[in-house]
Amino acid sequence: MNFGKRWLLAAFALCLFALPAAAAQTPAKGTPEWAPKAGERWLEVIKKDRRLHLRQGEKILKTYRVAIGSGKGTKKSPIDKITPVGVFTIRRIADPTDWIFDPKVFNEPGEPQKDVYGKWAISFRNPWNLAIHGTNAPWSIGKAVTHGCIRLKNSDIEDLVKNVRPGMKLVIREKALQSDKSKASAPAGAKPLQAQQPVAPPAVPESADLASTVSIDIEPVKAPPESSDPSQEQTPEP
């Protein structure tokens, strides 16, 4: 066997032996490639429990009851009503009082509405224009009724924004990690270690392009980051 053939066979064998090692280093599909630093504040949403945790490192500082999207499965479209799972980054805190919900976006009946999203909205980077926000339907909290956004009571969103800053991480999971199930969660309404003032919304609204795949959220004075169901928002369940 000449030198050229021996070199090719050696290179081929090296590739074969290297494959299993590389595969072992590749994270499993859907596994977040992020872990909090000691003392780092971040948000965690557990869809199954309908809860949002404000965490510092691995410690839970506060817990809030939330509503999530009514859809199930993997999010693929802005109108599939699914709250996505994954690791996201907080973009900004905005005043949504002038945001308008148009049910026609979801091919639903009804007229455009204001005052649907509470006093504050926490925008996070995602391609579906979703946000964490308040609501005019407090009865919906704890249910799967939204079009994909994460909804809190107005008093809770006002409390939460005191501890949220752009750049913080938001982790959304289908269910709690096994290691968390044995830990006692902080009671709802527990005081955080250090309350901070809410971030003022930008003076100049940012533009939006719903057809773009870039992570952006909707211009506040023209459209909301996620719509609510007008028939449910206006008519509480019996």
- Output the pTM of the full model: 0.65
Higher pLDDT, 124 or 199: 124
Q: Which of 105-119, 139-153, 221-235 is least confident?
A: 221-235
- The CA–CA distances, whole Å, from 91 to 81, 148, 215, 236 equal 21, 17, 10, 32
Most confident of 108-122, 202-216, 220-234: 108-122
Mean pLDDT, residues 42-58 taken together: 97
- The CA–CA distances, whole Å, from 57 to 41, 60, 159, 169, 225 equal 6, 8, 20, 11, 29
Q: Does 133 have pLDDT greater than 70?
A: yes
Q: Where are the domains of the chain?
A: 34-203+225-234
Higher pLDDT, 17 or 10: 10
Rounded to whole angstroms, the Cα distance separating 91 from 132 reads 11
Read off the pLDDT of residues 139-191 as tens digits, 9 standing for 90 and up. Answer: 999 999 999 999 999 999 999 999 999 999 999 999 998 877 655 544 444 44
Q: Which of 16-30, 91-105, 148-162, 207-221 is least confident?
A: 207-221
Rounded to whole angstroms, the Cα distance separating 130 from 224 reads 9
Q: What is the pLDDT at residue 104?
A: 86
3-state SS of 94-105 is ECCCCCCECHHH
Q: Contact 72/80 with Cβ under 8 angstroms?
A: no
Q: What is the pLDDT at residue 181?
A: 62
- Give the whole-number percent of the chain exceeding pLDDT 70: 62
Give the CATH H-level superfamily of domain 34-203+225-234. Answer: L,D-transpeptidase catalytic domain-like (2.40.440.10)
* Mean pLDDT for all residues in the chain: 73
Higher pLDDT, 55 or 205: 55
